[in-house]
Chains A and B, each alone.
With several copies, the nearest count.
Chain A
Amino acid sequence: MADFTRNEMMTIVAARALKNDDVCFVGIGAPSAACNVARLIHAPQITLIYESGTIGTRPNVLPLSIGDGELCETALCTVSVPEMFRYWLQGGRITVGFLGGAQIDKFANINTTVVGDYHKPKVRLPGGGGAPEIATNCGEIFITMAMGKRAFLEKLPFITSMGHGPTGAERRALGVKSKGPTRLITDMCVFEPDPVTMEMTIRSIHPGVTREEIAENCGWTPRYFDNCSETPAPTAQELEVLRDIQARTKAAHAA
């Protein structure tokens, strides 16, 4: 088994989840790496869309921001931001939306707005950006986040984007027809929603990670599917492609 970091494992698991015919709304950081690794390995036809308006981008290096020139130059086409949110996201054209966040609860609701009282914040976070509408208008949502007690919380101070709702029932009750978060991919394991309670439940544990470690880094007592397995380790090809694009990116942005 090749040597790999937990962050690499997280990115590669996310890449594996993407299919050739997906139309994917990409955020920056891990999702961008995952989407482009998928494109370079098993999903050459995947359509990557960045909220800056670029459709069908095939960047050679990873963008630093969602609006880099590389995204536009390699895109099939570029549209305005209002059109992106109206025709493409709200239009229901996106099959997979990627989200991350500062804090998450067991029903995959996410907070990226504020810690403490909204009007007298302890920590002011960046805010929702595209997330509130990505969460409901994409076919399904993949979330990537590194685990930790300050990030994986029993209860959020603020819901920036809805997962399955505060008790897991609200999404359905509100009549939202898209699936919401179907995978929560962390640096330690992969969660999927329990089909009945919608609680994010551990489907597989990454190689070398223990249940104790997961418990220590989770603000609630995590549940496991009966058939919870070990996440297949990154293949040599997966690692090579990921490291290669990251090296190209580093070289390009340093220049």
Chain B
Amino acid sequence: MAKFMSLADAVAENVRDGDSVAMEGFTHLIPFAAGHEVIRQGRKHLTLIRMTPDLIYDQLIGMGCADKLVFSWGGNPGVGSTHRIRDAVENAWPHPLAIEEHSHAAMANAYEAGASNLPFAVLRGYIGVDLPKVNPKIKSVTCPYTGEVLATVPAHRPDVGIIHAQRADREGNVLIEGITGCQKEVVLASKRTIITVEEMVDKLDAPSFNSTVLPHWTIGAISVVKGGAHPSYAQGYYTRDNSFYIAWDKVSRDRDTFLAWMKENVLDKTPDAFAAHAKRSA
């Protein structure tokens, strides 16, 4: 049952050291504010799951929150590398980072299987490639009808699923519209959930581009955090802050510059700081 609370309380109640945590958002609606709160609260030993670990995972990993990354494509989209993730994988800084690597298709199917309460997903994938040689989680089943061998991956069942959405009504039903990625599946597959939203409204006004509704009884915590997806975008609210993505390349290349930036912009701030971003690029 959805419970409205501050983001600080939502993270304190729901994210524990050692948890597996999926923060999703396919370019759109990336839960930056929630990620910052996890960093501020100093969570450790997380297994971070995400199809496209980009800046928010670069920050979490650079700050030493994670022991393991489960992913399918890691980079600063349109810009280049995620330097903190590379530094962790290549140089074990700030400490070693184990990786479990999949393809997008496998990750999407693994969330779908989790939402469907199945222990594994079947896909026509991983054919002729090297990933199954280095990821023992990729296995196979034989079709009982055709004899065809198909790839399998275990379902994702994160301890905590975290997403950002456009709005919630007072009952706690949440609307996502535009590019919805795999956010519905993440919420349905996770044991606990945190959803940050741009605003609380009286009525969801559901019919819209690809509108997707999560009923209140599928949700744990909801926190209103205006601008909470910055520097990514929230369709209908504000656009992507491309300059931030470009600037991040420079910030994240150097460990000290990175740490200084994190102190100033994350550790010494609160979720309210995001509201300014929503205004700036609206």
Report which A residues bind B (CB closer than 8 A): 21, 23, 28-29, 45, 47, 51-56, 64-69, 71-73, 76-82, 84-87, 89-93, 113, 118-119, 121-124, 126-133, 135-137, 158-162, 165, 170-171, 174, 176, 253
Contacts and interface: CB of A to CB of B under 8 A. Distances in A.
Interface string B189-229: 00000000000000000100110110101100000000000
Contacts, number: 210
B209 A73 contact: yes
Interface string B86-104: 1001100000000001011
B71 A127 contact: yes
Nearest to A21: B1
B116 A80 contact: no
A55 B127 contact: no
A52 B85 CA distance: 23
Given A85-B109, A87-B188, A131-B103, A93 B77 contact: no
A170 to B, nearest CB: 6
B31 to A, nearest CB: 14
B90 A53 contact: no
The 8 closest A-B pairs by CB, nearest first: A67-B27, A162-B128, A129-B73, A77-B213, A126-B75, A78-B210, A133-B105, A65-B77
B4 to A, nearest CB: 16
Contact of A77 (B86, B125, B188, B206): B206
Interface residues of B, number: 64
A133 B26 contact: no
B111 interface: yes
Given A72-B210, A129-B73, 17 more contacts: A53-B179, A64-B78, A65-B240, A66-B77, A69-B178, A69-B240, A80-B185, A81-B51, A85-B104, A85-B105, A90-B117, A91-B188, A127-B101, A128-B101, A128-B103, A129-B104, A133-B105
Nearest to B181: A81
B258 interface: no
B85 A124 contact: yes
B26 A81 contact: yes
A77 B109 contact: no
Given A123-B90, A126-B74, A159 B242 contact: no
